[in-house]
Amino acid sequence: MPDSLDAPADEWLSYAERDLKVARIGVDATDLADLAAFHAQQAIEKCLKAMCVFKRVPFEKTHDLGYLLRLVRSFDPAFAERWSEAKLVTEYAIAGRYPLDVGPYAVPPARAVQLAAEVLEAARQWLGDQPER
């Protein structure tokens, strides 16, 4: 199995962008809002993993955004603090994919999608501000 640090950070962000596109399509459809939020969670997850990859910080195979934010905090505490709300979107990693009643949600689907867009933009900017290695 390939190491999670093998794929370049910009490739992780490319996948995050794709998840965000899907999230934006479904967020306004009542019957797809939970799936939109799932893709928002996936986008945030991939952004945080992109940052870890860039800094060569290994991470476990996980969907836990709180865990990933703790890793980001180890090299950029301000970023982790600014986007700490993202950890609440973790609940969508399961919701929408299985017939489980997990609501009510801490973050509504529309906010999850908005948050994913904001985190993606911030991660893009963060990577652009980093010195070349």
Continuous segment of H or E residues that includes residue 93: none
CATH of domain 9-110: 1.20.120.330
Structure confidence by residue, pLDDT tens digits, 20-47: 999 999 998 888 888 999 999 999 999 9
For residues 114 and 43, give the distance between their C-alpha atoms in angstroms, rounded to a whole number.
Answer: 11
The DSSP code sequence of 18-50 is HHHHHHHHHTTSGGGHHHHHHHHHHHHHHHHHH
For residues 95 and 99, give the distance between their C-alpha atoms in angstroms, rounded to a whole number.
Answer: 8
Whether the pTM exceeds 0.95: the reply is no
Q: In the numeric block, which tokens belong to residue 128?
A: 């652009």
Cβ contacts of 51 within 8 Å, gap of 6 or more: 9, 72, 75, 76, 79, 123, 126, 127
- Note the pLDDT of residue 65: 98
- Note the pLDDT of residue 133: 57
- Note the pLDDT of residue 56: 95
Please list the pLDDT of the chain residue by residue as tens digits (133 residues). Answer: 355 677 899 999 999 999 999 999 999 888 888 899 999 999 999 999 999 999 999 999 999 999 999 999 999 999 999 999 999 999 999 876 777 766 678 899 999 999 999 999 999 999 998 876 5
For residues 27 and 113, give the distance between their C-alpha atoms in angstroms, rounded to a whole number.
Answer: 7
